[in-house]
C-alpha cells in the first residue's frame, strides 16, 4: 500500500475558527492511515523513503477545501503541482520520493516542477458537487492573512452549510448561527455541548406543549432548532466532527418531531379526533422518512438533489421547521388546534409527493435511465433554471474570500 509523506512549509499565526492553517492541516491529515506527517530529521528525507512512497509538500499558510486535500491524497492523483488560481503560485506539490533531492528536506523550492502537471483546485478535487452537504460550489484554496481572516472564516462557514435544506435553516439561520458559532469557539464550547443543550430544550418544549403552554414551548422549540444548526457548523469549522457526535445529533433530529406533535395534541386535550390526527401525523412522518431512505435504491444521492423541483420541495416538505411555522402561525391566531390539523394535512401531502418521486426514481432505474442529480451536472449554473441556481449554488469562493 502506498504511503504519502507530508511536509509543511511556510506558516501563519492567524487563527480561523480557533485554528492556525497548520493546525487545520494536522487535524485533517493525522487520522488518515496512509499519511505520515514527516518532520525534518534525516530519517524522514527522500533518500530513506521506502519504495512506493510519495511526498506531498503543502504550504501551511493556506487554507484548503477538504475536497482539494482529498484530491491531493488520492491514490490515482499521480505527480502534480497545485496552483492558486488567484496568482498562479504553487501551493502544493506531490511527486515520487525518487524525484526529490536525496539529502535535503523536500520543499517547493527543490520540487521537480518541470516534470509535474500543473493543476488548479477545481481539477484536483473530485468535483464541485458535495453529496453530504447537498450543494454545488467550486473547490478552493486561499492564502491566510490577518486582513482576510473574517472573510475566510465566512467562507469556511459557508462551506460547512448545506445547500439544500428547509427554508428556515437556509435563509433565517445563517447569519445568527455564524455569530453564535463564533461565540462558541471563543468560549471553548464543543459541538456535543451544544447538542446536549438542544436535548434539554427539546424535552422542555415537549413538556410545555403537553401542558398547553404553547407560546413558551414554541420559544424553546425554535431555540432548539437554531442550536441544531449551530452544533453541526461548529463541528465542521473546527474539525471536531466525530462518529458519536453525528449519531448523538441525528438521533435527536429523528425522534423528537413526532413526540412534539403528540405533546401538542395532549396539550389540546386528548379526544378521539385529536388521537386520529396524531396517528396520521406519525404514520405520515415515518412514511416520508422511509421514502427518503428508500431512494438510495434508485440513486446514490439524496432525493432532494434529483431535480430542481425536489430541491424546492425540501424547502417546505413536512419536516420540523416548516411544521413549526404552521404551529406558530396557528398559535399566533389563537387557534392551536388548527395548527395540528395543518401539520396533519401537510405531512400527508408531503409524504404523498415523496412516495410519487420515489416511484418515479425506481421506475427510471428499472428502465436503465437511473436518476442523475441536477447539482451533479458539470455545471448546473449553465442550465435553464436561473432562480434555482441562485438558491442552491454558491458563488466562486475566491469572491467569498475577497481575493
Q: Residue ranges of the domains in the chain?
A: 4-129, 160-372
For the chain, first and last CA: distance in Å?
39
CATH 3.40.50.300 fits domain 160-372: no
For the entire predicted model, the pTM comes to 0.89
pLDDT at residue 269, as a whole number: 82
Distance CA 289, CA 399 (A): 37
> Could you give the residue ranges of the DSSP H alpha helices within 238-367?
243-268, 272-294, 308-316, 320-332, 336-366
pLDDT at residue 52, as a whole number: 66
User: Which residue reads 400527508 in cell numbers?
Assistant: 348
Give the pLDDT of the chain (403 residues) as one tens digit per residue: 578 999 999 999 999 999 999 999 999 998 888 898 987 666 666 766 666 689 999 999 999 998 899 899 987 778 899 999 989 999 999 999 889 998 889 999 999 998 899 999 988 886 555 555 556 678 899 999 999 999 999 999 988 888 889 999 999 999 999 999 999 999 999 999 999 999 999 999 999 999 999 999 999 999 999 999 999 999 999 999 878 878 888 888 889 999 999 999 999 986 557 889 999 999 999 999 999 999 999 999 899 999 999 999 999 999 999 999 999 999 999 999 999 999 999 999 999 999 999 999 999 999 999 998 887 654 555 555 677 777 877 655 444 444 4
Q: Do residues 10 and 17 lie in contact, with contact meaning Cβ atoms separated by under 8 Å?
A: no
pLDDT at residue 403, as a whole number: 44
pLDDT at residue 41, as a whole number: 64
CATH number for region 4-129: 3.90.550
Q: Is beta strand 80-83 parallel, antiparallel or unpaired with respect to 129-130? A: unpaired
Beta bridge partners of 102: none
Count CB-CB contacts under 10 A for residue 93. Answer: 26
Hey, is 77 helix, strand or coil? coil
184 burial class (0-12, 13-18, 19+ CB within 10 angstroms)? buried
Q: Do residues 24 and 63 lie in contact, with contact meaning Cβ atoms separated by under 8 Å?
A: yes
Supply angle C-alpha 403, 400, 64, rounded to 5. 80
Amino acid at each position: 500500500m502506498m504511503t504519502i509523506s507530508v511536509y509543511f512549509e511556510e506558516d501563519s499565526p492567524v487563527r480561523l475558527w480557533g485554528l492556525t492553517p497548520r493546525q487545520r492541516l494536522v487535524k485533517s491529515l493525522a487520522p488518515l492511515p496512509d499519511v505520515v506527517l514527516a518532520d525534518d530529521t534525516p530519517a524522514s528525507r527522500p533518500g530513506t523513503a521506502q519504495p512506493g512512497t510519495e511526498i506531498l509538500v503543502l504550504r501551511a499558510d493556506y487554507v484548503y477545501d477538504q475536497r482539494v486535500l482529498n484530491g491531493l491524497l488520492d491514490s490515482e492523483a499521480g505527480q502534480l503541482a497545485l496552483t492558486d488560481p488567484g496568482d498562479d503560485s504553487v501551493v502544493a506539490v506531490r511527486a515520487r520520493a525518487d524525484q526529490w533531492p536525496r539529502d535535503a528536506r523536500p520543499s517547493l523550492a527543490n520540487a521537480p516542477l518541470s516534470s509535474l502537471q500543473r493543476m488548479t483546485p477545481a481539477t484536483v478535487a473530485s468535483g464541485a458537487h458535495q453529496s453530504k452537504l447537498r450543494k454545488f460550489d467550486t473547490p478552493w484554496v486561499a492564502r491566510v492573512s490577518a486582513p482576510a481572516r473574517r472573510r475566510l472564516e465566512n467562507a469556511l462557514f459557508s462551506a460547512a452549510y448545506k445547500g439544500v435544506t428547509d427554508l428556515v435553516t437556509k435563509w433565517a439561520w445563517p447569519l445568527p448561527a455564524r455569530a453564535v458559532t463564533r461565540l462558541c469557539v471563543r468560549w471553548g464550547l464543543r459541538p456535543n455541548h451544544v447538542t446536549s443543550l438542544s436535548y434539554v430544550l427539546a424535552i422542555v418544549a415537549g413538556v410545555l406543549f403537553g401542558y398547553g403552554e404553547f407560546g413558551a414551548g414554541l420559544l424553546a422549540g425554535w431555540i432548539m432548532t437554531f442550536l441544531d444548526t449551530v452544533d453541526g457548523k461548529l463541528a465542521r469549522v473546527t474539525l471536531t466532527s466525530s462518529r458519536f457526535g453525528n449519531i448523538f445529533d441525528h438521533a435527536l433530529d429523528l425522534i423528537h418531531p413526532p413526540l412534539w406533535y403528540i405533546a401538542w395534541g395532549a396539550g389540546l386535550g386528548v379526544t378521539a379526533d385529536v388521537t386520529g390526527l396524531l396517528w396520521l401525523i406519525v404514520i405520515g412522518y415515518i412514511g416520508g422518512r422511509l421514502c427518503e431512505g428508500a431512494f438510495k435504491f434508485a440513486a446514490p444521492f439524496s432525493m432532494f438533489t434529483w431535480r430542481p423541483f425536489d430541491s424546492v420541495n425540501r424547502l417546505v416538505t413536512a419536516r420540523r421547521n416548516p411544521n413549526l411555522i404552521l404551529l406558530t402561525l396557528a398559535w399566533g391566531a389563537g387557534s392551536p388546534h388548527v395548527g395540528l390539523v395543518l401539520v396533519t394535512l401537510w405531512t400527508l401531502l408531503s409524504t404523498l409527493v415523496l412516495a410519487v418521486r420515489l416511484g418515479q426514481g425506481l421506475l427510471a432505474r428499472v428502465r436503465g435511465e437511473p436518476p442523475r442529480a441536477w447539482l451533479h451536472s458539470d455545471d448546473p449554473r449553465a442550465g435553464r433554471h436561473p432562480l434555482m441556481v441562485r438558491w442552491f449554488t454558491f458563488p466562486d469562493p475566491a469572491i467569498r474570500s475577497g481575493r
